[in-house]
Chains A and B, each alone.
Chain A
Amino acid sequence: LPLPATDTDNRLLAEKYLRRYYGLPTGLLGSRKSSDAMQTKIKEMQSFFKLKVTGKLDDNTLELMEMARCGVPDIGEYN
C-alpha cells in the first residue's frame, strides 16, 4: 500500500493553499498546534465549499485542497 501522507506534508499543503487563496499570513503559525489564523482560514475555506466547518484539516478538506482549480482567490481583498 502507498504510505499515507504525513501530517507535516498535509500541513504544508494546507498552508500553501490557504496563503494563496485565503490570504493566510506567513510567519505566524506554530509548528505543533494550529494557530488561530490558520483555523480561521480553514473555516472560511470549509464554509465556501460547504464542507463541515471544523477548522481542522480533515480528509475532505485535504482532498479538496488537492483538486485542480483556478488560481483566483475564493474570497478576500482585491488590491
Chain B
Amino acid sequence: HFPRDIKWQNNNVTFRIVNYTPDLKKSDVDRAIRNALNVWSDVTPLTFKKLHAGIADIMIGFGTKEHGDFNPFDGPDGLLAHAYPPGNGIGGDTHFDEDEHWSKDSTAYNLFLVATHEFGHALGLSHSSDPGALMYPIYNYARGYPLAEDDIEGIQSLYGPNPNPRKVKPKPDAPNKCDPMLSFDAVTELRGETIIFKDRFYWRLHPQMPEPEQTLIKSTWPTIPNKVDAAYENPEKDVVIIFSGIRMWALNGYNLVEGYPKYIHKLGLPKTVREIDAAVYIRDTGKTLLFVEEEYWSYDENTGTMDSGYPRSIEDDFPGMDDEVDAAAYHYGYLYFFHEHVQYEYSYSSRKVMRILRTNSILNC
C-alpha cells in the first residue's frame, strides 16, 4: 500500500477514457479498460461507472514524453505507464505511454495487463516485491487470470471482499526458497548454472551470484508450460531437455531448439507413462536415468535408445532412498535426489546414501 493506506472513501468509483491509442480499435481499448476494472471489482465491493464527459475519479489517457503531469514518459520501452493513488484531482488518474506499441495479445505490450496493474495503483496498491504478483513493477505477459494471492490480499485489506464473490483462481504466491517444507519440481544444470523449477517459477543459481534469482518460467520461455516435471542437461550435446506431461522441449543455452515439443514416447517409453518425475544425465556412463513413480528407465544418449532390462525398482537399485523422486542432479560421482523436503546425496560408486540434507540447502538456506 501507499503510505497511510490511502483508498477511495466511496465504493462507487467513476472513470473516463479521455483519449485512445491508434494501436488498437476503440472498442478493444474500451474492452481492455473495462475488463481490467472488472478484475478488481470481482474481488472487492467496488463498482466502476463510466463517464463520457466531465471529471471522473480515474481519468485515463495516452500521452508521450511530458504529457501534462510533470512526470514524463521516456519513449519506446522502459516506462510503460503510471497511475496515481486515490485522491482528489490527479489522484487515481492513469496514463499510458503512447510511444509504446499496445496490443490485445502478447505481440506487444498487452494493454489489459498493464491497465490492470495501473488500476491497482489507482485503487491504492503500491508495488509488490513478489515476482509472480500483478503488482510487481516489471512487465511480464501471462495468460489467464492476472491476480495472485498477494494482489487479492492487498486490495481486500483496503476494501474488503466482494459480498457476492465470483469464483476466481488467483495465482499462488511465489515459493519461498527458505520454506523448510519446500520441495522441487525439477533440477538441471545449464552451462554451469543450476536451474531449479518450482511451480510457475524457476531459481537460477550461478557460481558467481551469491543469491539465487527467482523468475517466472513464462517470462523466459513463454511457450513452455507453467509446470515442469523433470529436466536434465546433456553437456556433450549442449542441450537441456525439459519435460512436462507427455511432451518435452529442448534448450540450447536459454534458447528453445526448433522441432520441439516432442512426445516423451519418442525416447522409447511406453504409452502408459504420462509424466516423468525426474531425469538426470550421468556423465560417466552417457546414460540418462528417467524416474517414473517407483521405477526408473535408462536411456542411452549415444545410441538414442532405451536400455533393455528396464524399468527397474528405485528402491532396489538405490538402497536407502525413498521409493519416489521429485528431482535429481549429478555432480562429481554423486547423485542428488530430491523428494519432498529431503535431499539425498547418493554415491554412485559406493551405492549408498552418504548424506541427508534439506531440499533447500542448495538455495543457501
Contacts and interface: CB of A to CB of B under 8 A. Distances in A.
Contact of A70 (B4, B137, B209): B137
A71 B81 contact: yes
Interface string B196-212: 00000000000001110
Nearest to A46: B211
A69 B129 contact: no
Interface string A45-79: 00011111000000010001011111110100110
Contact of B139 (A60, A67, A72): A67
Contact of A48 (B4, B78, B80, B129): B129
Contact of A72 (B3, B121, B211): B121
Contacts of A71: 71, 73, 79-82
Interface string A26-54: 00000000000000000000001111100
Contacts of A50: 129, 131, 211, 214
A20 B78 CA distance: 12
B83 A72 contact: yes
A17 to B, nearest CB: 9
A69 B80 contact: yes
Contact of B2 (A52, A69, A78): A78
Contacts of B307: none
B120 to A, nearest CB: 9
A70 B117 contact: yes
Contact of B3 (A51, A64, A67, A77): A77
Nearest to B76: A68
B85 interface: yes
Interface string A7-25: 0000000000000100000
Contacts of A66: 78
B210 A52 contact: yes
A68 B127 contact: no
7 contacts: A49-B129, A52-B209, A52-B210, A60-B209, A72-B83, A74-B126, A78-B6
Given A51-B213, A70-B118, 7 more contacts: A49-B129, A52-B211, A69-B78, A72-B82, A72-B127, A78-B2, A78-B85
